[in-house]
Structure 1
C-alpha cells in the first residue's frame, strides 16, 4: 500500500532538509566503497599482524581478496544480563563464517554499562556519553581496514545507538545487528512497581524490595519491560538491520543460535565481493529513519530515542528533528501495551504476534515505507513474518498472523489503544521539551501547580520522606543536562511522585535531565532545552512560581509576569561535585562539548 500522505509529506521534508549533509555523507561513503576490499593494499607487515593468530586456512584466505572477512564488534560483558549471552556468539559466528567460506574476527570490544546498576549513583553521569565512547571504540576496532562486512553485538540503552553511529560512520561496509534476546518472564513488572512504591512509603523493608527486584531481573537476557533496550531491538528490526524476526527470541535457545548463524551468513553474502552489496550507509536512508520513528510511536517506546534517533540519523547525514518526531506521533496510533504502558512484558508482546504482526498492521495503512532496503535484500514487507525453528536447526518463517494473539497487548490500526503515539514536543517560555503520555491518564495531561525546585533528585526524595510534598506541585529538577552532569536518568523520582499522584495530588516533573523508556504514569516534561547549565530559562524558576505542563496544547510555561521574568537572574548551582569520582573526571571534555538534547546531546555531531 502507498505510504500515508502525512508520512510521505514528513519524509519528503526530511529528505529536502537533509540534502546538503546527506549528499556529502554519500559522496564520502561511495569513495570508500569504490576502493573495494582493502587487504591487498596493506603492506605485508600490516597484513601479517592482522591475521597472525588465525588458522593456516584462514591466513591463506585473507592473504588475498578471495574470501570475505567479517568484523565482529561486541559489547559483551558478564555484568549486563542482556549482554552476558554474547560470550558464546563469537565462536558461533566464526563457525558459521567458515561454513559460508569466509572468515570472522572479533574486531574490537566496546564498553557497555547498565543504567539499572548505576541508577541514582554517580556512575549514571557517564551513561549518556558512553554512547559516543562506544561509537569511537567501535571505530578504533574497524580502523584496521581488514574487514569486508560487520556484525554488531549489542542490546542495551546506549550501546545500540553507539554501535549504530559507528555503523553509519563505516557506512561503506554492510552491517547486521545481532541481538541476544529478552530474559524469560519473572515477577510481573506491575508487581515490582507496587513493591517499589511500598518501599518508598516505608511500608516494606530492603529485604522485601531486593527479593522483588531479584525475582524480576532473574537471568540472562534483556530486562522484560519496554524501556530503551527493547526499544532498540524494535528499531533495528523495523529499520531493516536485523534479520526478520530476530528481536525478541530468548537467549541460549536453539532458535536464538540459528538466528545468529543465519545473520553471519547473510552478512557475508552482502559484501562487495558478491552480487548483493549492501553498504549500511546506503541502505539506511530518510525512509528507514521515519520507519524507526513510526515504530517507536506505535509501540510506546523509549523517550531516550528523541536523543538517540537524532544522533543516529546525523551520523548518516540525515537531519531529524523533534518536530518531525512530534508530528509523526500525531499520525501514528498506539498498537502495543507493554509495561510501563500496560501489564504485559516483551515476551507477551512477542507471543501475541510481536514485530511481524506490528509491521503487517503498519504496512496495511501505509504508515511505514515498504520500499526501503534491508539487510534481508527485500523491502519491509519481508519482515511481516512469524519466525520459528525449522528442520535441522535452521530458521523457518511464515506470514505474520492475521489476528493478534492477545488483543490486550497488540491491537489493530483500526482499533488502536489510542489514536496517537503519545510522544509529544512541548515548548514555551521554559524552552523545548518532550513528554511521553501513553501511560499517563488523560486527566493528568494538563497540570498547573506551584513549582518546587531541586538541584538533585535525592533532595526531592528527602523532602518526600519529610512529608513536605503532600500537595499539588510541579517538581523542577534542573542542572541535570548534558553539560551539567551528563544528563542522568532520574528514575529514583518515580516511586515518590507515583505515591503522591495515587494520593490524589496533581504532580508533574519538569527537568533538563532524562526519565528514559520507563517513564510511566506521572507526566514528565524531560530533556528541557536549553539546559540550565547552558543559560536555559529553567534556571530562573523559583519555588512557588505557577508552572503549566500542557500535553494537549504542547505548552511548557511558567506563569510569571513577563517583565519580572525577563529581569530575573538564573539561580546558580554547585556543580563541582559532578566533576570527580567514579570516572567522572575523565569525562570533563565531553561535558564541556556536549550538544543540546534537541540535537542528540552528542559530542560527535
Structure 2
C-alpha cells in the first residue's frame, strides 16, 4: 500500500494538472498514427530519408516490415561520460538489424561539460543549454520517419533536455541508453583535501591538477553523486531505461549486452500489441517516484528545476511544496559523495538502484503500478540485478540481495541516515529557496550571522585572499538568477567556504544562483525566488544585516523590521559583462523570457 502522504501529494498533483495533462494527452493522441511512420510519407519524402542507407535497410524500411528507430545522440569527445557514445550508433544499428528493425541517427544535440566551464563565462550558457537540447531533439525527430527513439545522454542538462524534447513526441516509444560511470580513481576525501589546501595557498596548481586528473581519469561519468548520476537514478526509477543499467562501467561486456537489450526492448514496444509511448510512462505517479528517488538518495539540487520543467512538458504541474511535503516522509538512505565518502561505483556494488527501489517499494514510498519501458509490469522488475548470461552475449536479471552490501553507503528504510529527505524548502521574508541538507552536519544546519553582500563569486574569493573573511557571515551572492546571467553554478565558492567552516566559523551561502549536484558540507540556500533582477527581496539585503538560515525549521529570513525592509530601494547591478562574449549575446532573448526557478527556469513552459 502506498504511503498516505505520497498518495496525497500524488492526488494533489493530478488535480492541479487535470487541464494541462488532458491537453497534452490530446496532442499525443493527435500525433499518433496507425502503422509504420514511413508508410505515410510521399515517395519524395521517403527517398530523401533513406538515400544514404544501406540497401538492406532501404528494402526493410520501404517494405514496412520492421520499425525504424531514431537515435538522438549527445556524443562528443570532451565529456568523459559521452565519449563512449562515439561507438554506439553502428553497434545499435547492428542490434536493430538482429531484431528485424532499422536504426538511423536522427540528429545530435549539444552537450556541454559544467566541470570544464565552472567559474568561466561559458557557465552562463549551461542552464539554457537544457532548453536548446530539447529544441534540438525536436528538430531531430521532426522528420517523422521513426516508430521509436533511443536517447544517448547522461550529464547535467542533457538528460532533462532530451526528456523534454522526447515528450514533444510523446506518441513515440522511447528508451534511454546510458554509457555508465568511469572506474573509481582518487578518493573523494583526498580530492577535497587537496582542493582546500589549494584554496588556502598551501599547495600549487601542479598538485591540484594532479589530484583532479586522478579523480577524473577516464571515459564515463564523474563518480561523485552530482547531477549526471542523479540523472541516471531518475531515468531508471522513472522507468525510462532498463533495470540496473545506470551504473555499469563503459567498455564492459555487461554494458554492451545491456545496450543490445535496450534496442531489442525498444523494438518490442513499438509493436501495436505492446505499444508503449513515452507519454504513457511519464505520468503523475512516475514524477512522484522521481522526486522520492531524489530525496532518498540526496540527489542534485538541479532537479528542483529540471523535474518541474520536465513535468510541465508532459502537462504535469509539480512544485517545490510537493517536494517539501514528500521530504517529510521519505528517509535519506544513501551516503554517496558529496553526502559521504563513497562514490557511485561503491553505491552500485553495495546494492545500488535495485536495493534502493526494493526498500522504497516495500515501505510504500513508490508507486509500483506504473508503466516502464518494460511495459505494464510495474517496478517490481526493477528490483533485479543484470548479469551476463552463460554464453556471455546477453543479459539475465536476478532478484537483488535483501540486505545492503555496505550500510555506510546505502541503508534500509528501517535504519536510514536521516528520517527526512535530502532536500529542504526554505521560506521567509527573502522569498523561497531550496537547500541540500544531506551533506551538512547537524551542527551546521542553523546559521545566524551578518550578511556580506556580493554580486559575483570572484568578489568573495578576493576578500578571502586578503584575510577579510575570518569571521561568521552569510554570503549573499545575488544577480545570479536565470534572467540576470543564466543562473550559473557557483562552485568556486565551495572550497573557500569549506575552509572557513573548518576553521570554526559559522558560514552559509544565500543566492539566486545554483550550486547543483556537488553541493557539499556548507549550508547553501540556492535558487532564491524571486531573483534579484526581478525585484526579489534578496536585492534589499545590505552588508551587516543579520541573516538567519534554519534548515531544520525551513526558515530563511533577514532580521530587519518589515517596514524598513519594504521601504528599502532595490539594489542595482551592472550586468553588461554577462551580456556579451563567449556566445552569451546569442542567449539574450532567453534571459529576457526565462521563468523563475520555481517554474523550472525555462523558456519553453
CA distance in 2, matches of 1:323, 1:304: 16
Q: Are 1:206 and 2:205 counterparts? A: yes
Please list the CA deviations of residues 545-568 of structure 1 after superposition, one character each: whole Å capped at 9, or x if unmatched: 111111122111111111211110
Q: Are 1:350 and 2:338 counterparts? A: no
- Aligned position for 1:482: 482
Please list the CA deviations of residues 506-537 of structure 1 after superposition, one character each: whole Å capped at 9, or x if unmatched: 00000000000111110000000010011111
- Aligned position for 1:596: 596
Deviation at 1:94, TM superposition (A): 0.1
- Aligned position for 2:357: 359
Alignment of 1:415-426 (within 5 A): 415-426=415-426
Please list the CA deviations of residues 259-309 of structure 1 after superposition, one character each: whole Å capped at 9, or x if unmatched: 0011011111111x3421001012210110000000001111000000000
Please list the CA deviations of residues 560-604 of structure 1 after superposition, one character each: whole Å capped at 9, or x if unmatched: 111211110111101001011111011111111100000100000
- Aligned position for 1:522: 522
Q: Are 1:194 and 2:193 counterparts? A: yes
Please list the CA deviations of residues 427-464 of structure 1 after superposition, one character each: whole Å capped at 9, or x if unmatched: 11101100111111111111111000000101100011
CA distance in 1, matches of 2:464, 2:599: 34
- Superposition RMSD on alpha carbons, in Å? 0.8
CA contact (8 A) 2:227 2:299 kept: yes
CA distance in 1, matches of 2:220, 2:405: 23
Deviation at 1:35, TM superposition (A): 4.8
CA contact (8 A) 1:167 1:281 kept: no
CA contact (8 A) 2:423 2:438 kept: yes
CA distance in 2, matches of 1:31, 1:122: 42
- Aligned position for 2:292: 294
CA distance in 1, matches of 2:447, 2:36: 58
CA contact (8 A) 2:333 2:413 kept: yes
CA distance in 2, matches of 1:90, 1:380: 29
- Aligned position for 2:237: 238
CA contact (8 A) 1:39 1:64 kept: no
- Aligned position for 1:585: 585
- Aligned position for 2:445: 445
- Aligned position for 1:413: 413
Secondary structure in structure 2 of the residue aligned to 1:275: helix
Secondary structure in structure 2 of the residue aligned to 1:247: coil
Secondary structure in structure 2 of the residue aligned to 1:427: strand
CA distance in 2, matches of 1:490, 1:201: 18
Deviation at 1:319, TM superposition (A): 0.1
- Aligned position for 1:92: 91
CA distance in 1, matches of 2:140, 2:433: 36
CA contact (8 A) 2:300 2:516 kept: yes
Secondary structure in structure 1 of the residue aligned to 2:19: helix
Q: Are 1:492 and 2:492 counterparts? A: yes
CA distance in 2, matches of 1:137, 1:385: 34
Unaligned ranges ≥5, structure 1: none
Secondary structure in structure 2 of the residue aligned to 1:474: strand
CA contact (8 A) 1:129 1:486 kept: yes
Q: 2:333 aligns with which of 332, 335, 342?
A: 335
- Aligned position for 2:563: 563
CA distance in 1, matches of 2:422, 2:261: 36
Structure 1 window deviating more from structure 2 (91-100 vs 559-568): it is: 559-568
Please list the CA deviations of residues 149-178 of structure 1 after superposition, one character each: whole Å capped at 9, or x if unmatched: 001000000000000101111110011001
- Aligned position for 1:226: 225
Please list the CA deviations of residues 30-54 of structure 1 after superposition, one character each: whole Å capped at 9, or x if unmatched: 1111454331221111110100011
Deviation at 1:416, TM superposition (A): 0.4
Secondary structure in structure 1 of the residue aligned to 2:17: helix
CA contact (8 A) 1:439 1:521 kept: yes
Deviation at 1:255, TM superposition (A): 0.5
Please list the CA deviations of residues 9-35 of structure 1 after superposition, one character each: whole Å capped at 9, or x if unmatched: 111111111100001101110111145
CA distance in 2, matches of 1:352, 1:219: 22
Alignment of 1:53-64 (within 5 A): 53-64=52-63
Matched length: 603
Secondary structure in structure 1 of the residue aligned to 2:548: strand
Secondary structure in structure 1 of the residue aligned to 2:420: coil
CA contact (8 A) 2:429 2:537 kept: yes
Unaligned ranges ≥5, structure 2: none
CA distance in 2, matches of 1:415, 1:216: 31
Q: Are 1:304 and 2:297 counterparts? A: no
CA contact (8 A) 1:189 1:339 kept: yes
CA contact (8 A) 2:240 2:281 kept: no
CA contact (8 A) 1:26 1:282 kept: no
Please list the CA deviations of residues 294-339 of structure 1 after superposition, one character each: whole Å capped at 9, or x if unmatched: 0001111000000000000000000010000111111100111100
Deviation at 1:391, TM superposition (A): 2.4
CA distance in 1, matches of 2:328, 2:116: 35
- Aligned position for 1:168: 167
Q: 2:311 aligns with which of 281, 293, 313?
A: 313
**TM-score w.r.t. length of structure 2:** 0.99
CA distance in 1, matches of 2:106, 2:237: 26
CA distance in 2, matches of 1:138, 1:284: 17
Q: 2:369 aligns with which of 356, 368, 371?
A: 371
CA distance in 2, matches of 1:369, 1:472: 44
CA contact (8 A) 1:446 1:552 kept: yes
CA distance in 1, matches of 2:35, 2:529: 43
Secondary structure in structure 1 of the residue aligned to 2:164: helix
CA distance in 2, matches of 1:136, 1:247: 25
CA distance in 2, matches of 1:267, 1:229: 23
Deviation at 1:389, TM superposition (A): 1.3
Secondary structure in structure 2 of the residue aligned to 1:484: helix
CA contact (8 A) 1:356 1:400 kept: yes
Structure 1 window deviating more from structure 2 (50-59 vs 304-313): it is: 50-59
Secondary structure in structure 2 of the residue aligned to 1:376: coil
CA distance in 2, matches of 1:403, 1:466: 51
CA contact (8 A) 1:244 1:376 kept: no
CA contact (8 A) 1:283 1:374 kept: yes
